[in-house]
């Protein structure tokens, strides 16, 4: 038996950074994200009689994939957890891949854990015709593998506080571009970042700041107040990166290239009183969300940069 599933990535505008104690990826504060349908992971699961344990292979036909030992262990442990949850018998060849290059500095954990959860759910349904899970329940299962993947179960907008995410109603469909900037600093995994940020003196106020920004952002989204959306998102990603830089030991992801891009974007806003929504993940790349009427100008802003975009030029 073989099943397949695919799931999109997402970019958080209010960030999940820091976890509640006790494991299981419960976030210290709520997060809100936009789903990136053009950046996807694909997973197939195939039962192999001869296998004594589950195995992982890269799924052919996609971008070559790089999985660290730690990343592979986390991925296969999630599959094991789902097999136990849904009483799926046997051993499987798990194959996965992304439609974006492994070396571009984009984390694939949200899309790959969501795709694995969906693939395992198909398998479970093939074994148990009465099994029905809601999207919210699947989101909770996915969170156990990797927190941010729980938001990839909803599109285009998702909010997550507590056990799992839910879709939220926002009357804004956006385009996305990520400017690929080379990071020249040693990278720290997001799991490590979650563990370290509470050593920062800025940490004690962090959950309150995230809650306050969530409220501001939701108001701005409902009013389609583009400038306020930009302002909240700008301060939110700087807040997360300030936590990184003030942790003990300190770490960070912004390179000269990042600072240069951020400066250009700020100049653009100062000049035009308009521009893209700007945010960053735990990496050197800069993510932009745009209204469809900005696409023509965005092709000019982005010329000369290496990018991945949701639209064709």
Q: Is 144 exposed, middle or buried (0-12, 13-18, 19+ CB in 10 A)?
A: buried
CB of 274 to ligand DP6, least distance (A): 26
Smaller CB separation from ligand DP6, 30 or 257 = 30
Catalogue the long-range contacts made by 269-273 (C-beta closer than 8 Å, 24 or more residues apart): 269/230, 273/227
The nearer residue to ligand DP6, 12 or 120, going by C-beta atoms, is: 12
Burial class (CB in 10 A: 0-12, 13-18, 19+), 141: buried
Q: Where are the beta strands (DSSP E) in the chain?
A: 2-14, 31-47, 55-58, 92-98, 157-161, 164-167, 175-179, 277-279, 286-290, 307-309
- Closest to ligand DP6 by CB, 220 vs 282, is 282
Contacts of 191 (CB under 8 A, 6+ apart): 74
CA dihedral sign of residues 244, 250, 255, 261: positive
98 lies in the site for ligand DP6, by CB under 6 A: no
Q: Is 237 in the site for ligand DP6 (CB under 6 A)?
A: no
- Distance, CA of 26 to CA of 163 (rounded, Å): 7
- Residues near 34 by Cβ (< 8 Å), separated by ≥ 6? 10, 11, 13, 156, 157, 174, 176, 289
Tell which positions 194-213 bind ligand DP6, by CB under 6 A.
194
Smallest distance from ligand DP6 to CB 10, Å: 7
In the complex, least distance from residue 195 CB atom to ligand DP6, rounded to whole angstroms = 9
Q: How far is CA 36 from the centre of its chain?
A: 9
Q: How many residues does the chain have?
A: 313
* x-marked contacts with ligand DP6 along 287-306 as a string, rule CB under 6 A: --------------------
Count interface residues toward ligand DP6 (CB under 6 A): 15
Comparison of 98 and 148: residue with beta carbon closer to ligand DP6: 148
* 187 lines the binding site for ligand DP6 (CB under 6 A): no
Cis peptide before 308 (omega within 30 of 0): no
Number of H helices, E strands in the chain: 8, 10
| CA distances, 89 to each of 27, 75, 278 (Å) | 32, 18, 45
Mask for 118-147, x = binds ligand DP6 (CB under 6 A): ----------------------------xx
Is residue 174 at the binding interface for ligand DP6, with CB under 6 A as the rule?
A: no
Where does this chain touch ligand DP6 (CB under 6 A) — which range of 15-23, 60-68, 169-177, 226-234? 15-23
Q: Is 16 in the site for ligand DP6 (CB under 6 A)?
A: yes
Q: Select the span of 86-94, 130-138, 168-176, 188-196 touching ligand DP6 (CB under 6 A).
A: 188-196
Q: Which stretch binds ligand DP6 (CB under 6 A): 8-16, 128-136, 209-217, 218-226?
A: 8-16
Pick one of 17, 82, 114, 277: the residue that binds ligand DP6 (CB under 6 A).
Answer: 17
Smallest distance from the beta carbon of 109 to ligand DP6, in angstroms? 4
Site string for ligand DP6, 45-84 (x = CB under 6 A): ----------------------------------------
Residues that bind ligand DP6 (CB under 6 A): 12, 15-17, 25, 31, 109, 146-148, 190-191, 194, 281-282
């Amino acid at each position: 038996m073989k099943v397949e599933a695919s799931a999109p990535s997402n970019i958080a505008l209010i960030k999940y950074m820091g976890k509640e104690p006790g494991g299981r990826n419960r976030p210290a504060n709520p997060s809100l994200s936009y789903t990136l349908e053009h950046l996807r992971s694909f997973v197939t699961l195939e039962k192999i009689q001869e296998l004594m344990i589950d195995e992982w292979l890269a799924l052919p036909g996609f971008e070559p994939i790089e999985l660290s030992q730690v990343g592979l262990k986390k991925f296969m442990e999630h599959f094991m957890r789902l097999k136990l949850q849904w009483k799926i018998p046997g051993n499987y060849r798990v194959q996965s891949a992304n439609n974006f290059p492994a070396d571009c500095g984009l984390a694939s954990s949200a899309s790959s854990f969501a795709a694995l959860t969906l693939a395992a759910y198909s398998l479970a349904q093939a074994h148990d015709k009465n099994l029905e899970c809601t999207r919210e329940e699947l989101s909770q299962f996915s969170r156990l593998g990797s927190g941010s993947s729980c938001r990839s179960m909803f599109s285009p907008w998702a909010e997550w506080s507590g056990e799992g995410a839910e879709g939220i109603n926002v009357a804004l469909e956006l385009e996305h571009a990520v400017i690929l900037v080379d990071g020249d600093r040693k990278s720290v995994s997001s799991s490590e970042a979650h563990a370290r940020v509470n050593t920062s003196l800025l940490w004690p106020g962090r959950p309150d700041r995230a809650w306050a920004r969530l409220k501001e952002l939701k108001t701005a989204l409902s009013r389609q107040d583009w400038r306020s959306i930009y302002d909240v998102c700008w301060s939110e990603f700087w807040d997360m990166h300030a936590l990184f830089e003030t942790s003990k030991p300190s770490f960070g992801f912004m390179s000269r290239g990042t600072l240069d891009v951020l400066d250009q974007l700020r100049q653009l806003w100062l000049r035009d009183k308009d521009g893209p929504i700007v945010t960053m993940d735990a990496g050197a790349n800069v993510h932009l969300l745009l209204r469809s009427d900005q696409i023509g100008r965005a092709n000019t802003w982005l010329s000369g940069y290496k990018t991945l975009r949701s639209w064709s030029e």
